[in-house]
Amino acid sequence: MVRIPEEKGPRVRARELGLPLGRFKTGKFNAITDVEGVLVGHSTIIQGEGPLRPGFGPVRTGVTAILPNLGNIFMDRMSGGGFVLNGAGEVSGMTQLMEWGLIETPILLTNTMAVGAVSDGVARYLVQRYPGIGDEHDVIIPVVGECDDSWLNDISGRHVRQEHVLEAINTAASGPVREGNVGGGTGMVTCDFKGGIGTSSRKLPEALGGYTLGVLVMSNFGKMHNLRVGGLPVGEVLVEKFKNTPHRGKSYGSIIAVVATDAPLLSHQINRLCKRVGLGIGRVGSYAAHGSGEIVVGFSTANIIPRRTQKMVYKMKILLDQRLDPLYEAVMEATEEAILNAMCMAEPMTGVNDNYSPALPLDEVRRFVDACRPIFASVKKRPHQTSVPASKERPSDQDREGEVTVSSALPTKVRGAEGIPFPT
């Protein structure tokens, strides 16, 4: 096996490479935790080296936990939804999520063979915290997503235990999120480079609602020749350089994405938002192969659906469907950047049977970006319009990227489902 010499410089996030990553600004941390009340924690398991001995290692895996509503999601539930682009993967609890349109447990990410152990760990955690589950309250089905990390990890050894689930949940916090070889992403590979956990966020201008949206991915998909970095065909260039480095061959891999937003969305709107995550995954180079699982879970923090109430109904804020387009664009941008952040922050890793996953060579990416920079510089940024009906007059709520305020942004004219304007 031929290994490319590893770069000595520090790993940095994709945005620091000068890549074109969309028009919307990021949140403070450029992470899913920019959505108020969302917490993220990890438990990373790295043990042993050398030949695979099932049950003994080497181990390269872990657990990542996403906690909505500051962790109090069981009693104060939120609107949720999801989307399956290709289903050669699993998110347990998703059947009920799609039926009820509610998130009521933390969302956990891990390897394929650990879904049962992680689901059991979450169930134990919630039962200890809420003893009435199964009696006073309904039973629960934890939301647990998985990807196959067997290229680097002793996956059949099932090394994830309850203590790892509790560590991920109990260490969940707001603020910056660790990326790359951490938590559920420890043993993951993306486009034949080291992948893992990545996250990004977008903050819409006040004229478009001022909403915050964040995406967290456990990225484990693709082949090198398909890789696109900021729209640039970097993978096609790197294939020749890494032609003598063995790659994961039997599995195309998968990706699980979690979307959070404070925009007031109903479940069907969250489902539609999750569909657009697939466009962001495609930007990086996925074609959702036969054996791949591209599964998305989403939730909105804007409305609380209480588990206990004496009321017959509850009131919800709902964003007009005509106002969804900026969120669609934002989630596509954030998904692309989250995947690239996972790759840019991941360190090279050697796992079972000395299988080796190189890190994305950032110096090569920088050279590629520098070569294309004159093209980027020649493109004049122009204000974009929101989806308003075509008319001879200039739309009054044109997106001027924050130059107008909410009070001066007039409502979009009433439109039919096909976007055809009609008088009121």
- 14-40 pLDDT, tens digit per residue, is 999 999 999 999 999 999 999 999 999
Buried b vs exposed e over 335-353: b needs ≥16 C-beta within 10 Å?
Answer: bbbbbbbbbbbbebbebbe
How far is the CA of 256 from the CAs of 25, 206, 253, 358, in angstroms?
24, 30, 11, 21
Residue 15 is predicted with a pLDDT of: 96
> What topology is assigned to 23-378 in CATH?
L-amino peptidase D-ALA esterase/amidase (3.60.70)
Residue 327 is predicted with a pLDDT of: 98
Q: Rounded to whole angstroms, how far apart are CA atoms 161 and 171? A: 16
Q: Rounded to whole angstroms, how far apart are CA atoms 299 and 291? A: 27
| Beta-carbon-side half-sphere exposure of residue 378 (alpha carbons within 13 Å) | 4
> How would you classify residue 305: left for phi > 0, otherwise alpha for psi between -120 and 50, otherwise beta?
beta
Residue 7 is predicted with a pLDDT of: 74
Return phi, psi of residue 119, to 5°: -60, -40
Instruction: Write the DSSP string, 75-141.
Output: TEEEEEEEEEEEESS-EETHHHHHHH-EE-S-EEEEEGGGHHHHHHHHHHHHHHH-TTBTTTB----
> How would you classify residue 294: left for phi > 0, otherwise alpha for psi between -120 and 50, otherwise beta?
beta
- The full set of domain ranges for the chain reads 23-378
Query: What are the residue ranges in the chain where pLDDT is below 70?
Result: 1-5, 376-424
- Answer whether 365's CB lies under 8 Å from 199's CB: no
Q: Which residues contact 370 (CB under 8 A, 6 or more apart)?
A: 18
Instruction: Give the residue numbers annotated as catalytic, written as ranges.
Output: 254, 292, 294
Return phi, psi of residue 216, to 5°: -125, 135
The pTM of the whole model exceeds 0.85: yes
Residue 22 is predicted with a pLDDT of: 95
Residue 372 is predicted with a pLDDT of: 85
